[in-house]
Amino acid sequence: MRQQPSQQPGQGRTRQRAERRPRRIRRTVAAAGLALAAVLGAGGWAAADGQQAVTGPPPGTAAWVADTTLGLRLPDPATAAPAEVAAFFDRLPAAARESLTVRHPLVVGNLDGAPVRLRYRANEAALAEELGRELARATDPSLTPQDHTAARERAARYRTLLDGARDGGRRFLAFDPRGRGQIAEVYGDLATAPRTAVVVPGSDIDLRTFDRAGDPYGTPAGMARALHGATGGGTAVIAWAGYTTPVGVGPDAATETLAEAGAGRLGRLLDGLAVTTRPDAPATVFCHSYGSVVCGLARPGPEQASGVVVLASPGLGVDSAADLDPRVPLWAVERNDSDWIGHVPYVRFLGLGHGADPTGPEFGARPLPATGAHGHTGYFAPGTASLAAFTAVALGR
């Protein structure tokens, strides 16, 4: 019988590694498939519409840049840093500020670095203008019945917000009617509160839903209201629906395209707060669900944020806390047992998924408790350990 050639040392181990390599690749692909399936949910690809991110300067920027009424060159919202905007307004007489607000409410109302109270007045004026425009569209004979219905719905929404600003003291730091609409509402007084916080929401949030009553602690308005109350007014809290969020559970929620666009907008907001509120106490940023991807990609520095808290997070778009600015503390809230986000595999593969689990000890975030919280949106509910922890962080304790 012919003898088989003897095996050279190391050949067996080489063959074993070669055999294991395809298995590792298959496991990685399978994990990515599971991540996509979990993020997309049972409804599959049809469960959500692809969104086009609203980016760039505010509506009306061209008219603003061309305005020479004051004999001055106005700062270009597309290129001027918030610090430049702040310095420009500091030099203006009060009458000139008011004149610009009347002529360009959508620009002033969304211009990071502009005085906060001026932005409140500008956004109130912009809401009134948009209300009039939608009321006219609702009866325009050149439009379709579907257009009339949509215009009436938008008009009703604008009227509710405008009435709140005029009668109930609601203060809007931003209002942009483009796309699904973006808005930011302030709870507390940014001018006098010793601390500031920003709530960054996840999917399905826009101008229509940012304060919906049916989910009191699952919207940025509900979270901000709860946190402001829990701090006893010691922290002014901004409910920031200022980026285009994913709709439903679809490809947008599984990728980072919208988060990347939102990260730039969040960075400008934080830069603006740094020059218009208290520079010695930058905002604490609370990032819920897909909003934590926005925060991770924004990578705020110590001039922008005194801390970042992520909750119900699918990942931050980074591999570990070491990928973020080490001077900004990062907290990750433990998931409660009924939060569905825990079923999403924490991987990134072929542009899908958002990376490592920030609650894992190897990630490097500081842990916060969630005792008493229920579901994906229950972390700000009164009586929970998570809200108590958020309060301590927001107050700088």
Digit-coded pLDDT (tens) for 102-142: 999 999 999 999 999 999 999 999 999 999 999 999 999 99
* Token digits of residue 95: 């009458």
pLDDT digits (tens, 9 = 90+) for 291-317: 999 999 999 999 999 999 999 999 999
pLDDT of residue 112: 98
pLDDT digits (tens, 9 = 90+) for 256-279: 999 999 999 999 999 999 999 987
Rounded percentage of the chain residues whose pLDDT exceeds 70: 88
Of 242, 220, 223, nearest in space to 231 by CA: 223
How does the average pLDDT of the chain come out, rounded?
A: 89
Residues 6+ apart with CB under 8 A from 41: 47, 248, 249
pLDDT at 28 over 80: no
Distance separating alpha carbons of residues 217 and 230, to the nearest angstrom: 13
3-state secondary structure the chain: CCCCCCCCCCHHHHHHHHHHHHHHHHHHHHHHHHHHHHHHCCCHHHHCCCCCCCCCCCCCHHHHHHCCCCCCCCCCCCCCCHHHHHHHHHHCCHHHHHHHHHHCHHHHHCCCCCCHHHHHHHHHHHHHHHHHHHHHHCCCCCCCHHHHHHHHHHHHHHHHHHHHHHHCCCEEEEEECCCCCEEEEEECCCCCCCEEEEEECCCCCCCCCCCCCCCCCCCHHHHHHHHHHHCCCCEEEEEEECCCCCCCCCHHHHCCHHHHHHHHHHHHHHHHHHHHCCCCCCEEEEEECCHHHHHHHHCCCCCCEEEEEEECCCCCCCCCHHHCCCCCCEEEECCCCCCHHHHCCCCCECCECCCCCCCCCCCCCEEECCCCCCCCCCCCCCCCHHHHHHHHHHCCC
Of 263, 253, 303, nearest in space to 281 by CA: 303
| Cβ atoms within 10 Å, residue 20 | 10
Looking at per-residue confidence, does 233 or 2 come out higher?
Answer: 233
pLDDT at 1 over 60: no
pLDDT at 9 over 80: no
Confidence of residue 182 (pLDDT cuts 50, 70, 90): very high
pLDDT at 226 over 60: yes
How far is CA 324 from each of CA 78, 201, 253, 318, 335, rounded to the nearest angstrom? 26, 20, 22, 8, 22
pLDDT of residue 49: 66
